[in-house]
Amino acid sequence: NAGVTQTPKFRVLKTGQSMTLLCAQDMNHEYMYWYRQDPGMGLRLIHYSVGEGTTAKGEVPDGYNVSRLKKQNFLLGLESAAPSQTSVYFCASRSVFPLENNNEQFFGPGTRLTVL
Amino acid sequence: QKEVEQDPGPLSVPEGAIVSLNCTYSNSAFQYFMWYRQYSRKGPELLMYTYSSGNKEDGRFTAQVDKSSKYISLFIRDSQPSDSATYLCAMSEAAGNKLTFGGGTRVLVKP
């Protein structure tokens, strides 16, 4: 049981390049999230998905696109990378079932992205 | 102004001391309060979870919520070097809703 995994772990891009970050979870969770973490800013929600084939905007969606073609995967795309997108990106997933705390989100190890 | 405020630290304490962390928030609709722990270069993991006001204890960890003051706290007793991490508070208005995170407090426990 790997939990939430993210690919790649590190990446350096030049301004204007594109890339896709992959998140995979093996817990059969319905909800998946993409966050970015910047110093002193905490985790800010980029996009999220409440199920296969659905996506929704979060707090800071501009410059990013997402897709959830399979329940276990959630992809984050940067079409034209900018230096302001230099950050650590975290994926998380959550079950919808009313466990004692269905607020618990399980996070991946993160992807460190630098845009030059 | 941020919806959730948290002192970034770093907070440095000697081993065995009590670590006291807190967050203030402005949204009175928040009902669910969480503390996540994040080790360096790792993803956050849930440490404590409380609903509404009151205290919750789990081993060396105690979480307190004071909704009247819009203030939450986390206490770590008998701190260990392995407690050195960044602690993030998080809140939501309803169960399963989106979480709003504080900026995190970095804690360093020195042997």
Contact predicate B25/B4, CB 8 Å: yes
Contact predicate A43/B88, CB 8 Å: yes
Q: Cis ω on the peptide bond leading into residue A39 (within 30° of 0)?
A: no
pLDDT at residue A50, as a whole number: 92
pLDDT at residue A62, as a whole number: 96
Residue of B nearest to A40 (CA): B103
> Which chain A residues are closer than 8 Å to B6 by Cβ?
42
Q: Which two tokens stand for residue B38?
A: 């994040």
d(CA A76, CA A65): 6
pLDDT at residue B98, as a whole number: 86
Q: With an 8 Å Cβ cutoff, are B42 and A110 in contact? A: yes
In the predicted model, residues of chain A with pLDDT beneath 70 are: 98-102
> Which chain B residues are closer than 8 Å to A105 by Cβ?
46, 99
Q: With an 8 Å Cβ cutoff, are B99 and A105 in contact? A: yes
> Which chain A residues are closer than 8 Å to B95 by Cβ?
98, 101-103
> Which chain A residues are closer than 8 Å to B46 by Cβ?
101, 104-105
Chain CA centroid to CA B71, Å: 11
Residue of A nearest to B104 (CA): A42
> Which chain A residues are closer than 8 Å to B101 by Cβ?
42-44
pLDDT at residue A102, as a whole number: 62
pLDDT at residue A101, as a whole number: 58
Q: Which residue has the tokens 């959830």?
A: A68
Q: With an 8 Å Cβ cutoff, are B46 and A42 in contact? A: no
d(CA A37, CA B22): 20
Q: Provide the shortest C-alpha distance from residue B36 to chain A (in Å).
A: 10
Q: Best of A32, A43, A49 to disrupt the B interface by mutation (most B CBs within 10 Å)? A: A43
pLDDT at residue B20, as a whole number: 97
pLDDT tens profile B23-82: 999 999 999 999 999 999 999 999 998 888 889 999 999 999 999 999 999 999 999 999
Q: With an 8 Å Cβ cutoff, are A104 and B49 in contact? A: yes
d(CA B57, CA B55): 7
**DSSP labels, chain B:** --SEEE----EEEETTPPEEEEEEE--TT--EEEEEEE-TTS--EEEEEEESSEEEEETTEEEEEETTTTEEEEEESS--GGG-EEEEEEEESSTTSPPEE---EEEEEE-
pLDDT at residue B52, as a whole number: 83
